[in-house]
């Protein structure tokens, strides 16, 4: 081969090699904003021995380094401060000039191509970016050394050490570092330091970790605190706030507790809705999250929609409740309903008060019953009255009532048995014994009151005429064996009841007498007067006893 031909061949080969190299390097676009790119933060003077995860040592690797806008291929020359060893990137005593984005092209034995990205950043020593915070609540805590700091110790037989707040922890050369019985004093910065030798030079890889001990987390079953009612009242045309409040546990991160509003037929992201999230902070450390759904203007469509309040804990369980909107009653309808109820209550109260006597008398007829002690009593009522001595009309009125009206209505028409003094006592009987015996055999004491004499003469209540008064009042007030029925004949007169004994005046103050005036109305058993008398009488008359039982 001639020299000219050799020169031409070498020129063509050089051009071909340069073209193929430029095509290879030009095709490799190292994107520093790639989402799969790993970020490492180091300070000046540290060293990096980095191997991509899931890489295979038996594959073929080519490393590229993006410096500013230039992309160069790394060499494997170990004397270079930045070089590559197969699948490993080595950056010695890093400076800002030696940082940047790196790409590893891995060609597997099968011919498949995989790309690995990493970005190495140089930051100040106090930069928070290089410190990873470890939040733990367990008693025994493990702090792991990251792979980029631990890798040279595994590959190059380096020495692993742990520092806490800049102080060496003796005899701690293992990964992970165990912090036993952790308390608040164990919080702080922990540095994982790997010291390794390369080409007879000593290098250090450091990875700081900030330990923060939080209180014990308690995972509770998800519980919806609001809404409680499945029916929510709403006013048409007015905005409405619906709160979905969820309790997930105690001392949990708010990101693990989620409250959500869902609708069956509506898009809650549309213009008519708005949602906000609120995390409640309380002294009990309960993790409570509220999602507020705002309906800007309630319409008829909202009353047919189903709204679901969904509470979820990640990881964990969930709970939901379905809410329906219901139109609120207007003020007019509420006032009308309240007025109707009030009027109805008043009418019922008036009717009961006016017709309570009729209702009781009717119930006695429909549901008759007999008391268990009726066999002991012989008379339904012992009738006691005062016989005036100075007023002829009053005397005639009394005789008419006692001898005609009273027996005719109560005995003949109602079946009661009365003992009327002067009518039922036997000749020759001892008056004192008769009064006491008949009084014990009676169920009621009926006292007939007459008007006071117009002349002002005071009637007396001395024995024997007034003895039954004394016994009856003693039985009613002291022994409480008798119920008293007071009947006033006509008007009380100018002196009222002042002429009566004090005990009888006391009874009158407790229960006003029933007034009887002669006339066609009071002669009827269904008159108002006789209904009141029958109401105060026993529910059922006593059985008829022969006279020998007395």
CA 483 to the chain's CA centroid: 55
pLDDT digits (tens, 9 = 90+) for 55-112: 777 788 888 888 777 788 888 888 888 888 888 888 889 888 888 888 888 888 888 8
Q: Domain for residue 373, yes or no?
A: no
Tell me whether residue 471 is in a domain.
Answer: yes
What is residue 19's predicted lDDT score, i.e. its pLDDT? 35
The rounded distance, in Å, linking the Cα atoms of 384 and 470 is 10
Per residue in 441-489, pLDDT (tens digit) is 888 888 888 876 444 444 444 333 456 667 767 766 666 667 888 888 8
Q: Does residue 7 belong to any structural domain of this protein?
A: no
- Cα angle at 135 between 130 and 319, to 5 degrees? 130
Rounded distance, CA 256 to CA 270, Å? 26
For residue 13, give both structure tokens: 């080969």
pLDDT score at 318: 92
27 has pLDDT over 50: no
> Is residue 369 scored above 70 in pLDDT?
no
Supply the pLDDT for residue 21. 36
Q: Are 258 and 357 in a shared domain? A: no
For residue range 385-415, what is the model confidence (pLDDT) as tens digits?
877 656 688 888 888 888 888 999 888 888 8
Question: Which residues touch 483 (CB under 8 Å, ≥6 apart)?
Answer: 443, 444, 445, 476, 536
Give the pLDDT confidence of 300-320 residue by residue, as tens digits. Answer: 999 999 999 999 998 778 999
Is residue 170 in a domain? yes
What the block records as the tokens of 91 is: 């950056």
Domain extent for 355: 331-367
DSSP 3-state of 154: helix
Average pLDDT over residues 18-47: 63
Distances (CA, A) of 478 to 126, 276, 300, 403, 509: 101, 78, 74, 30, 17
Q: Residue 234's pLDDT is what?
A: 92
Residue 493 near residue 452 (C-beta atoms within 8 A): yes
Domains contained in the chain, number:
5
CA–CA gap between residue 66 and residue 282 (Å, rounded)? 51
Give the pLDDT confidence score for residue 452 in this predicted structure: 65
Q: Are residues 76 and 175 in the same domain?
A: no
Which CA distances in Å does 440 have to 194, 207, 377, 542? 115, 110, 8, 14
Name the more confident of 499 and 9: 499
By the 8 A CB rule, do 179 and 186 touch? Answer: yes
Res. 15: pLDDT tops 50: no
Return mean pLDDT, the chain. 80
Mean pLDDT computed over 381-387: 82
Largest CA distance in the chain: 184
Hey, is 427 helix, strand or coil? coil
Q: What pLDDT score was predicted for residue 30?
A: 61
How many of the other CB atoms lie within 10 Å of CB of 285? 15
**Mean pLDDT, residues 174-182 taken together:** 85
- Residue 315 in any domain: the answer is yes
Write the DSSP string, 522-542: TTSTTSHHHHHHHHHS-SSPP
Average pLDDT over residues 347-365: 79
Task: Please tell me whether residues 318 and 431 are part of one structural domain.
Answer: no
CATH number of domain containing 450: 3.40.50.10140
**Percentage with pLDDT > 90 across the chain:** 16
Residue 450: the pLDDT is 82
In the block, which residue shows the tokens 């270079």? 80
Tell me which of 273 and 370 has the higher pLDDT: 273
Contact 305, 272 (CB under 8 A): no
Residues 152 and 86 in one domain: no
Assign 410 to helix, strand or coil.
Answer: helix
Based on the domain organization, do 45 and 153 belong to the same domain? no
Q: Percent helix, strand, coil in the chain (nearest 5)? A: 30, 35, 40
Residue 32 has pLDDT above 50, yes or no: yes
Quick check: 179 pLDDT over 80?
yes
Rounded CA-CA distance 516/486 in Å is: 11
Per-residue pLDDT, averaged over 417-441, amounts to 78
| In a shared domain, residues 404 and 427 | yes
Which of 101-115, 193-207, 231-245 has the lowest average pLDDT?
101-115
Q: 94: domain CATH number?
A: 2.60.40.10
In this structure, the dihedral spanned by the alpha carbons of residues 29, 35, 41 and 46, taken in order and rounded to 10 degrees, is: -40
Query: Do 116 and 186 belong together in one domain?
Result: no
Of the candidate ranges 174-188, 480-494, 524-538, the one whose mean pLDDT is the lowest: 480-494
| C-alpha count within 13 angstroms, C-beta hemisphere, residue 89 | 31
Tell whether 475 and 338 lie within a shared domain.
Answer: no
- Do residues 490 and 517 lie in contact, with contact meaning Cβ atoms separated by under 8 Å? yes
Is position 233 within any domain?
yes
Share of the chain above pLDDT 70, in %: 81
Beta strand 286-295 with 240-250: parallel, antiparallel or unpaired?
A: antiparallel
Residue 479: predicted pLDDT: 63
Pair (530, 428) in one structural domain: yes
- Looking at the structure, do residues 544 and 431 belong to the same domain, yes or no? yes
| Domain assignment of residue 5, yes or no | no
**Residues 323, 398 within the same domain:** no
How far apart are the C-alpha atoms of 100 and 320, rounded to whole Å? 50
In a domain, 372, yes or no: no
Distances (CA, A) of 290 to 45, 260, 308: 49, 9, 14
- Coil/strand/helix, residue 214: coil
Given a cut of 60, whether residue 372 has pLDDT beyond it is no
State which of 213, 237, 269 marks the end of a domain.
213
What is the reported pLDDT for 194? 92
- pLDDT of 460 reads 43
pLDDT given for residue 263 in this prediction: 94
Whether 543 and 503 map to the same domain: the answer is: yes
Q: 104, 122, 140 — which closes off a domain?
A: 122
- Return the higher-pLDDT residue of 294 and 175: 294
Whether this model's pTM surpasses 0.85:
no
In this prediction, residue 31 has a pLDDT band, given cuts at 50, 70 and 90, of low
- Tokens describing residue 258: 């989620």
Confidence tier at 351 by pLDDT (50, 70, 90):
confident
Q: How is residue 63 written in tokens? A: 């490393």
């Amino acid at each position: 081969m001639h020299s000219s031909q050799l020169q031409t061949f070498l020129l063509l080969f050089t051009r071909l090699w340069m073209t193929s190299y430029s095509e290879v390097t030009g095709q490799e676009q190292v994107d520093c904003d790639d989402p799969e790119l790993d970020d490492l933060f180091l300070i000046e003077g540290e060293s990096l021995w980095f191997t991509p995860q899931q890489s295979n040592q038996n594959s073929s690797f080519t490393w590229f380094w993006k410096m500013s806008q230039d992309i160069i291929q790394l060499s494997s020359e170990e004397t270079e401060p930045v070089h590559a060893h197969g699948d490993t990137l080595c950056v010695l005593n890093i400076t800002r000039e030696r940082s940047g984005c790196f790409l590893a092209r891995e060609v597997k034995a099968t011919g498949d191509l995989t790309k690995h990205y990493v970005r190495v950043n140089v930051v100040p020593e106090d930069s928070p970016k290089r410190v990873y915070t470890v939040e733990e609540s367990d008693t025994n805590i493990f702090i792991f050394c990251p792979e980029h700091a631990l890798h040279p110790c595994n590959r190059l037989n380096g020495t692993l050490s742990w520092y806490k707040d800049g102080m060496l922890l003796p005899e701690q050369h293992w990964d992970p570092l165990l912090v036993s019985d952790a308390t608040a004093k164990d919080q702080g910065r922990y540095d994982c330091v790997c010291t390794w030798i390369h080409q007879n030079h000593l290098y250090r890889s450091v990875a700081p970790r900030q330990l923060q001990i939080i209180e014990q987390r308690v995972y509770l079953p998800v519980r919806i605190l609001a809404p409680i009612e499945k029916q929510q009242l709403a006013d048409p045309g007015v905005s409405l706030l619906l709160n979905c409040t969820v309790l997930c546990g105690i001392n949990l991160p708010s990101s693990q507790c989620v409250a959500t509003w869902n609708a069956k037929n509506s898009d809650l992201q549309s213009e008519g809705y708005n949602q906000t999230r609120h995390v409640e902070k309380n002294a009990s450390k309960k993790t409570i999250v509220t999602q507020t759904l705002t309906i800007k203007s309630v319409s008829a469509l909202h009353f047919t929609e189903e709204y679901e309040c969904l509470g979820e804990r990640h990881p964990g369980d969930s709970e939901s409740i379905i809410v329906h909107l219901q139109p609120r009653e207007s003020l007019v309808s509420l006032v009308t309903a309240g007025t109707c109820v009030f009027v109805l209550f008043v009418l019922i109260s008036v009717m009961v008060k006016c017709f309570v006597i009729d209702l009781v008398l009717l119930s006695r007829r429909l549901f008759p019953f007999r008391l268990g002690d009726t066999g002991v009593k012989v008379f339904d009522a012992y009738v006691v009255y005062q016989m005036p001595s100075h007023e002829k009309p009053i005397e005639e009125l009394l005789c008419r009532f006692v001898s005609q009206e009273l027996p005719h209505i109560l005995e003949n028409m109602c079946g009661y048995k009365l003992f009327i003094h002067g009518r039922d006592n036997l000749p020759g009987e001892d008056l004192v014994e008769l009064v006491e015996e008949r009084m014990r055999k009676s169920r009621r004491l009926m006292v007939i009151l007459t008007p006071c004499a117009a002349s002002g003469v005071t009637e007396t209540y001395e024995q024997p005429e007034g003895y039954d008064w004394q016994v009856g009042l003693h039985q009613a007030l002291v022994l409480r064996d008798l119920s008293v029925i007071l009947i006033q004949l006509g008007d009380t007169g100018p002196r009222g009841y002042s002429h009566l004994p004090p005990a009888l005046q006391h009874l009158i103050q407790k229960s006003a007498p029933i007034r009887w005036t002669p006339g066609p109305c009071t002669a009827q058993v269904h008159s108002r007067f006789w209904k009141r008398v029958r109401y105060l009488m026993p529910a059922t008359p006593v059985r008829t006893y022969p006279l020998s039982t007395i």
